[in-house]
């Protein structure tokens, strides 16, 4: 059973014990990693207003390592240091602090579903503004936080499902001769579902930044043909096809009702056809 069969982490209230938790890496540990210069590491003139700072970070396309604090939090300096280390490894990222017990932050607490997390805690927010996972003080390391940062194409998928759209992920290489036909059928299938047309996201299988993402959604990276992975608007993988696939089959998969994955916090059997 492949690990990445549910991507509802940012579509629904964030759950730190089910899909998309710290045990599921969205990228390889080397992806997006850099040794920032002091100039690159500077913040976006951040203030003490988490809401304004988060908006500023999203506008600039920065990943956020959001350090959650609150009543009774201990070891705050250590977890901030860990977040800062992660910040130095991710090219465009910032560290922001948020006190979940401050009434001024109540809307953010609700938005990210962090009312019940044990503090201190680091929540990872993608460059598109979606919470994708987090780690408590006893689990957090810089590398573990970096692994939670979604790849660019995974972030596009999050945008689509948060807009309630199904997705056709088309993974190919420049040398594949079937890509044009696969894309034509995906577009034809999307046209059939005009009221809920899937978003077509093309991914280059040669892009090392996307290898972990493609592997997690079930793409056979050794394939000599284009792969199409269908993800429902609920964030579940409902189809995985190699080569040119029948238009109706793609359309049916896009609207297929898939049993909610991770029942009772378990991903067992999730996404199976």
Query: Angle, to 10 degrees, between the axis of helix 247-254 and the axis of helix 179-192?
Result: 50
Regarding whether 199 and 222 lie in a shared domain, the answer is: yes
Query: Is position 174 within any domain?
Result: yes
Residue 204: how many other CB atoms lie within 10 Å:
14
Same domain, 44 and 145: yes
Q: Are 244 and 169 in the same domain?
A: yes
**108: exposed, middle or buried (Cβ count in 10 Å: 0-12, 13-18, 19+):** middle
Q: Which of 150, 172, 190 is the last residue of a domain?
A: 150
Whether residue 27 is contained in a domain is answered as: no
Q: Is 150 exposed, middle or buried (0-12, 13-18, 19+ CB in 10 A)?
A: buried
The answer to whether position 17 is within a domain reads: no
User: Alpha carbon 7 to chain centroid distance?
Assistant: 7
Q: How many domains does the chain have?
A: 2
The percent helix, strand, coil of the chain (3-state, each to 5) is 35, 20, 45
133 and 161 both lie in a single domain:
no
Residues 63 and 126 in one domain: yes
The pLDDT value recorded for residue 260 is 58
Is residue 273 one of the residues assigned to a domain? no
Q: Final residue of a domain: which of 150, 169, 189? A: 150
Are 89 and 52 contained in the same domain?
yes
Residue 144 falls inside a structural domain? yes
Domain around 128: 38-150
Q: How far apart are CA 232 and CA 10, in angstroms?
A: 14
**First CA to last CA distance, the chain:** 12
Same domain, 172 and 143: no
Same domain, 88 and 77: yes
> How many Å apart are CA 88 and CA 82, to the nearest integer?
10
Instruction: Decide if 91 is inside a domain.
Output: yes
138 & 97 share domain: yes
Based on the fold, state whether residues 98 and 201 are members of the same structural domain. Answer: no
In a domain, 21, yes or no: no
Tokens of 128: 């598109």
- In CATH, what number is assigned to the domain containing residue 99? 3.40.30.10
Per-residue pLDDT of the chain (273 residues; tens, 9 = 90+): 333 355 543 333 333 433 333 333 444 334 344 444 344 445 577 778 999 999 999 999 999 999 999 999 999 999 999 999 999 999 999 999 999 999 999 999 999 999 999 999 999 999 999 999 999 999 999 999 999 999 999 999 999 999 999 999 999 999 999 999 999 999 999 999 988 899 999 999 999 999 999 999 999 999 999 999 999 999 999 999 999 999 999 999 999 988 755 433 333 334 444
Domain end call among 132, 150, 168: 150
- Residues 164, 220 within the same domain: yes
What are the contacts of 183-187 at 24+ separation with CB within 8 A? 185/244, 185/245, 185/246, 185/247, 185/250, 186/228, 186/250
State whether 158 and 141 are in the same domain: no
Q: Please indicate, yes or no, if residue 3 is contained in any of the structural domains.
A: no
């Amino acid at each position: 059973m492949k690990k990445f069969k549910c991507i509802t982490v940012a579509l629904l209230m964030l759950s730190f014990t089910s899909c998309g938790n710290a045990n599921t890496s969205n990228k390889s540990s080397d992806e997006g990693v850099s040794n920032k210069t002091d100039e690159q590491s500077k913040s976006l003139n951040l203030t003490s207003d988490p809401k304004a700072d988060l908006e500023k970070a999203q506008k600039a396309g920065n990943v956020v390592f959001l350090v959650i604090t609150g009543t009774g939090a201990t070891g705050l300096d250590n977890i901030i240091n860990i977040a800062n280390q992660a910040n130095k490894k991710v090219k465009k990222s910032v560290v922001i602090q948020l006190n979940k017990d401050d009434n001024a932050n109540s809307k953010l607490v609700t938005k990210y579903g962090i009312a019940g997390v044990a503090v201190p805690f680091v929540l990872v927010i993608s460059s598109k503004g979606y919470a994708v996972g987090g780690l408590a003080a006893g689990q957090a390391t810089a590398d573990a936080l970096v692994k939670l940062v979604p790849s660019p194409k995974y972030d596009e998928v999050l945008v689509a499902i948060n807009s309630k759209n199904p997705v056709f992920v088309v993974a190919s290489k420049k040398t594949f001769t079937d890509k044009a036909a696969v894309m034509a059928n995906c577009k034809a299938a999307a046209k059939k579902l005009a009221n809920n047309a899937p978003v077509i996201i093309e991914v280059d299988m040669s892009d090392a930044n996307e290898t972990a993402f493609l592997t997690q959604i079930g793409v056979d990276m050794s394939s000599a043909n284009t792969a199409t992975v269908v993800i429902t608007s609920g964030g579940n993988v409902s189809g995985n096809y190699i080569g040119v696939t029948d238009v109706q089959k793609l359309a049916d998969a896009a609207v297929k009702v898939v049993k909610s994955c991770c029942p009772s916090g378990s991903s067992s059997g999730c996404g199976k056809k």
